[in-house]
Every structure is written in C-alpha cells, then in structure tokens.
Amino acid sequence: MANPMQMQPTQKWAEEMDRQDQLASFRDEFYLKEGSIYLDGNSLGLLSRRAESTLQEVLASWREFGIDGWTEGEHAWFQLSERLGEKLAPLVGANPEEVIATGSTTVNLHQLLATFYQPKGNRMKLLADALTFPSDIYALKSHVRLHGLDMTEGLIQVESTDGHTIEEDALIEAMTDEVALIVLPSVLYRSGQLLDMKRLTQSAHERGILIGFDLCHSIGAIPHQLSEWGVDFAFWCNYKYLNAGPGSVGGLYVHRRHHGCLPGLAGWFGSAKEVQFDMDHTLQPASHAGAFQIGTPHILSLAPLLGSLDLFHEAGMEAIRRKSLSMTRYLMMLVETELLHKGFSFGNPMEDTRRGGHVCLIHDEAVRICKALKARGIVPDYRAPNVIRLAPISLYTSYTEVWEAIQQLKTIIENKEYEGFEKERGVVA
C-alpha cells in the first residue's frame, strides 16, 4: 500500500489506494446498496453472503433434523456457542476456553457484575467513566442498589475534561482502596477514543482491583491481547464490526484464573456439557467460560456469526486495523482540508494509538447534516446533540467512497442543504 505520508486529498489518490488495497476483494462478500455509501458499520454492520449462507444452513438443519439438530449436522447446536467462542478468541487475544458466544452486551455485563462485584470491607465501589454507553451505567447502578448501597457509596464516574475523551491518568488516580471493581469501554462510543487497556489493567491489578472492558466498539476493528494483558473479563456485541446481524448473540471473555468460580447468575446452559441433561438441582458449572452462559442460546442469531467470522480470519486483524487507521486518517485529512473552516471540529483523538474505528465530527447542525447526508445516499450515525460518527469499514468501504462522502458533505454545507430538514432526531438515532 502507498506510504501514508504521501497521502493526498484527491480522488486520484483514493483510486490508487483502492487498486493497491489487499482487502478490496472482501467487498464482493457483502450486500452493498447501489448508490449508497455506508459509514455506519460501527453501529450495525452490513450483511455478508457468508453470514447469509450459514444462517440458511442452520435453518436447513432445523428443517431436516428437528430436535436432533442439537447433535446432528455440520453446525450442531448443542456446542455451537463454544465453537463460536473458539473462533472469537483470536479476535480478543484470548485462549479458546476463555471465550463464549452468549447473551447480549447488557445481559453479559449483569452476569459478570453478579459474579465479580462483591463489595466488602472498605472496597465497596464500582469505578466507571462518565462518557460510557448508558446501558453499562444502568447495569452498574442496578447492582449497587441490589447490594443495598446508594450511588455515593457504590459508584464513581470519572469525568471528562473536554466532553469527548477520558484521561487514563484520571482513571488511575480514581483507583483507590475503596474500589472493588472497574468497568470501562475499550473505545468510547461517541468520540472513538481507544483506551490503553494494558496500562489500565496493570494499574488496577497493582492496586488489587479487578477490571473488565466493554469491547462493543473495538472487537472486529482493533487487535486485542486480553489474556496477555491479564484483563479479568470482557463483554461485547457482535452486530457492529463483526456483522452478525441486528440483535445477534453477544460474547464474553473470562480470564482462565477465574474459571471454576460459581457464576453469579446461574442457568442450565452454564452446566458442564456431560452432565447438563442429568437434570440435577445442583449446578455443576463448565470448567471454562461456558459456565457463564445462562439460558438456551438463540441458535438462529448465532448462525450468521459462523460465516462472518470466517471473513475476519481470512483477512487477519492486523491487516484490518492497518486499513482502518489509514482510512480514518484519510477521512480526517479530507475534513481538515475541506471542512474545518466550516464549523466542524474533531471529537476523536488524532493519534492512531488512541483512535478506534470511527471518526467523530462535531457540528452544531449535526442532526440536520446527517439527514441531508442520508438524502444523498451517505449513511452516517448521529449522536445527540452534535456528533456525526463516520466509520469506514475495512472489509467493505473503499477509499474512493471516503473521498466521495466528504465531497458530498462539503456540498451540503456550502449549499446549506441541511436547512431543508427539521432540527430534531428520529426516535432511533
């Protein structure tokens, strides 16, 4: 690929990068709408032909085998979550037995909090940041209440100094001897800031505190080394960068040193497989991350992930991350060249080492600009009150599309097309 130092804000440069792109062939794997540029894959990834195929295969097994589909066929259902855990593990830098495909982001967080948040003595508090996704905070607060604590006793939220990012130094300073457990995002969902998970984990452990991460905005976009870093637990959805479909089954990771502990929320699918159908009223949990499953998995929502993950293994996370950084860097260059003098600013960190997979643009007219972009066939993501998120996806976005999207955005601003739209978001933003 061309030297990024030679990056030029031109269509010609973008087209040359597309010719050199080693991941370009993966575009053919996805259903791309003609006349549209999709830059919202950090919210919902597009359907791939592989994901569609494995969903059809699992549907066929239901049609052919009925109840015997649990043990028969290429994608037998009984250990499908474990099989997918093995395929997910390399994406988070974990051992296969440390990962399971199960639940949803918030359900998995509830499970992990129920297991690892055990306030006692002086250590009573949960530590989080003030910019994390609201659902995570709802879960944290519910567990504070379940332990009979008020929020001042049970929850610390580290504030941002700029409204967009969180300083690791501030998080570490808040790791006092009152903290029992830390839950942080790997990438902040609005600004795209990538936190230094290795440093934060080391700092937490030096202070005797367990720490876990929400990987919703990093899995499938950046490489991880959770086991090597010693992260205690993590949880995520699979429908953003991993393209497993709306509401697809999520995933969780638990470091092997915690295997053998009783899950806080017990259910029959957390049983050791060989005794699950003994129907004993005493749970014998699995000896691996499978112990943290609760109920019967949603097989049809697991199925697309089978095909989707094959694409990630073929492409390789290092190559995916290189292209992602290159495209977001290019997008930022175009914005700097064309739009910074037109009311835009960046909410995301500029450094590659601190940026996830999307670019965060700030503009007072963000909601109307997003509507105008959609009217022109550009699909962005809006976050109230003034954030436009743009996510070029390594497996299906081209450099030329990035260039074209910014030209369309420039036209919208210069012609004030956004003024033709109401300044209020839809129910779903």
Q: What is the DSSP string of 209-225?
A: -EEEEE-TTTTTTS---
Tokens of 322: 């290189």
Residue 105, annotated ligand binder?
A: yes
Residue 189 among the catalytic residues: no
Residue 292's CB: how many other CB atoms inside 10 A?
31
Q: Check 129, 214, 232, 381 and give the catalytic one.
A: 214
| 191 is known to lie in a ligand binding site | no
241 part of the active site: no
Is 296 annotated to bind a ligand? Reply is: yes
> Which strand (E) or helix (H) includes residue 306?
helix 299-315
- Is residue 136 marked as binding? yes
Annotated binding residue 341:
no
| 189 labeled part of a ligand binding site | no
Distance of CA 69 to the CA centre of its chain: 30
What is the separation of C-alpha 249 from the centre of its chain, rounded to a whole number of angstroms? 13
- Give me the catalytic one of 87, 240, 368, 383: 240
Strands 251-254 and 125-129: unpaired
Helix axes 299-315, 49-65, angle to 10 degrees: 140
Distance in angstroms (rounded) separating the CA atoms of residues 310 and 45: 15
Return the percent helix, strand and coil in the chain, to nearest 5: 45, 15, 40
Q: Is 106 annotated as a binding residue?
A: yes
Strand partners, 212: 183, 233
Check 38, 189, 235, 239 and give the catalytic one: 239
119 is in an annotated binding site: no
Q: Find the catalytic residue in 235, 381, 389, 418.
A: 389
CA–CA gap between residue 192 and residue 7 (Å, rounded): 22
> Does residue 389 carry a catalytic annotation?
yes
Is 40 marked as a binding-site residue? no
Is 135 known as a binding-site position? yes
- Count CA atoms within 13 Å of residue 217 on its CB side: 25
Question: What residues does 387 pair with on adjacent strands?
Answer: 362, 383
Select which of 133, 141, 321, 352 is catalytic: 133
Cα(403)–Cα(10) distance, rounded to whole angstroms? 7
The β-bridge relationship of strands 210-214 and 179-185 is: parallel
Q: Is 133 annotated as a binding residue?
A: yes
Residue 76 has phi, psi (to 5 degrees) of: -50, 140
Largest CA distance in the chain: 70
In the residue annotation, 214 being an active-site residue is answered as yes
Query: Cα separation of 274 and 289, whole Å?
Result: 16
**Known catalytic residue at 150:** no
List residues forming the annotated binding site: 105-106, 133-136, 214, 217, 239, 268, 296
Active site residues: 133, 214, 239-240, 389
List residues forming the annotated binding site for pyridoxal 5'-phosphate: 105-106, 133-136, 214, 217, 239, 268, 296
